[in-house]
Amino acid sequence: MEIKFIDLKRSYAKYGKELEEAVIQVLRSGIYLNGPFTKQIEDTLADFIGVKQAIGVSSGTEALYLILKALELPPNSYVLVPSFTFIATSEVVIRAGLVPWFVDVEEDTFGLSLENIKKAWDTLNLKGKKVSAIIVVSLFGIPARLEEISEFCKEKGIFLIEDICQALGAELKEKKVGSFGIASATSFYPTKPLSTCGDAGMVFTNSEKLAGKIRFLKEHGQTRPYYYEYHGVNGRIDEIHSAILSVKFKYFKDELKERRAIANTYYELLKDVKELTLPKPCEGAMPCWSLFTVRAKNRDELRSFLNENGIGTGIYYSYPLHLQPVYSNLGFKKGDLPVTERLAEEVISFPLYPGLKPEEIDYVVNKVKEFYSRKK
Ligand SMILES: Cc1ncc(COP(=O)(O)O)c(C=O)c1O
C-alpha cells in the first residue's frame, strides 16, 4: 500500500469541478483584486472565528507581519515566541524592527507554557529589556494555553498575538482559537486545514482601528488614491484565492469533523503502544489536527521503516529556531530550551487528511506496531 503523507488530490477529486468553475468565474469577471469573493470570504471567516474584522492578505507570514507593524510596538522591544514552530513566527519579528526571544514549550500541547513565559519575562527584565508582545502558536492545530497566557498579557499590559496558521477551526472552551488576543494570523497554504492553491492568509481582530490600519498597510500604506501615510507592503489576497476559499469553506466543517474522527481513531488504536507518546491537549481544547504529531522512540528508524513500507511521514520541526544560524546573535545555545530540543529529536507526524480511508489508518497503525515488535 502507498499512503502519501499529505494527498491534496483527494479533496480536489471531491470538489475540483466547483473550484474550476469559481476560478473561471473570476477570470471572466475581470476583477482580480479587492473584489466580491474577497469581501465574501472575509465576512464568512470573521463570523466563523467570532471577531468583528477579517482582512485577507497574501500569506500567513504577511498576516503576522502586518499585525506587528500596525501595533507600532516600541522599536527593538522584545517579542516572546516559541522556538518550536515554523520560522515565519520569528522571521516577522525581525522584519518589524523588533527582537524575537525564544521560549520553551510544554511537551503535552507543544505550545508555550506560562511558567516558561514568566521565566523569560524575568530574565529579560533583569537585563533591562522591554517585552512588548507574545506570539502564541497553536501548533499542529492543538490550542495553546490561551486563557492563561491572555491573563498574563493583560496583567503585564502587553499584546497577545495568535499565530493560528496551523489552527483554523480549533477551539478552546467553545471559543475559536484566533479570538483570544489583540489579533491573529492564519495561513491558507495548500496543506493547511482550509487552504488555497498557492499562498494566501488572513488577519482576524476585534479592533476596528487595527483592522483599518492593516487595510492601508497591505496596500502600500495608501490611505487614499496615491497618497501614503504609512510604510506599507503589497500584501493583498487575490480574488482567485478568495474564490477557491469560498468554495472550500462549504466543505470545511465536514472536513474538520473528518480530521477529528481520524485523530480519534489514531488515539484509540495507538494508545497501547508504549513507545509512542500522544499529545495531551489542555482541558476544553478541540484541536483541528492540521497535523497528527506524536513523540516516538527510535523516531528516525521508525520513519525509515514506514517509508520502506510506502507510508509518508513528516518531521516538524527537526531543528529548533533558537539554534538556527540566522539567530546566533541572540546568544542562545544548546541546552537552553530542553523540551524544544528533545521534541526536535522525537516528533513524527503521521498521515491525517480528509479522504484518508479507515484501511489506510489501520495499515499505518499496524506498521508502527510491527516496527516496535521487531525491536523487542
Ligand atoms: C506556525 C506557522 N506560522 C506561520 C506560517 C506562515 O504561513 P505562510 O506559509 O502562509 O506564509 C506557517 C505556515 O506554514 C506556520 O505553520
DSSP string, 130-185: PEEEEEEE-GGG---SHHHHHHHHHHHT-EEEEE-TT-TT-EETTEETTSSSSEEE
Q: Ligand 1 centroid to 163 CA: how many Å?
A: 8
Q: How far apart are CA 293 and CA 166, in angstroms?
A: 13
Ranges in the chain annotated CATH 3.40.640.10: 9-246
- What pLDDT does residue 206 have? 98
What atom of ligand 1 comes closest to residue 201's alpha carbon?
10
Average pLDDT estimate for 59-82: 98
Q: Which residues contact 375 (CB under 8 A, 6 or more apart)?
A: 275, 298
- Angle at CA 47, nearest 5°, toward 213 and 32? 60
> Is residue 376 over pLDDT 90?
no
pLDDT confidence bin for 80, thresholds 50/70/90: very high
Average pLDDT estimate for 51-63: 98
Average pLDDT estimate for 254-261: 98
* Angle subtended by helix axes 88-95 and 60-71, to nearest 10: 40
- What pLDDT does residue 240 have? 98
Whether the full predicted model's pTM is greater than 0.95, yes or no, is yes
- What pLDDT does residue 156 have? 97
Q: How far apart are CA 63 and CA 69, in angstroms?
A: 10
Average pLDDT, the chain: 98
> Is residue 45 over pLDDT 90?
yes
Quick one: fold of 252-375? Aspartate Aminotransferase, domain 1 (3.90.1150)
Q: Ligand 1 centroid to 162 CA: how many Å?
A: 12
Ranges in the chain annotated CATH 3.90.1150.10: 252-375
Task: Find out whether the beta carbon of 73 lies less than 6 Å from any atom of ligand 1.
Answer: no
Task: Find out whether the beta carbon of 202 lies less than 6 Å from any atom of ligand 1.
Answer: no
Q: How far apart are CA 325 and CA 38, in angstroms?
A: 39
Give 199-232 pLDDT, tens digit per residue: 999 999 999 999 999 999 999 999 999 999 999 9
- What pLDDT does residue 51 have? 98
Average pLDDT estimate for 338-355: 98
2.60.120.40, 3.20.20.80, 3.40.190.10, 3.40.640.10: CATH of 9-246: 3.40.640.10
What atom of ligand 1 comes closest to residue 62's alpha carbon?
11
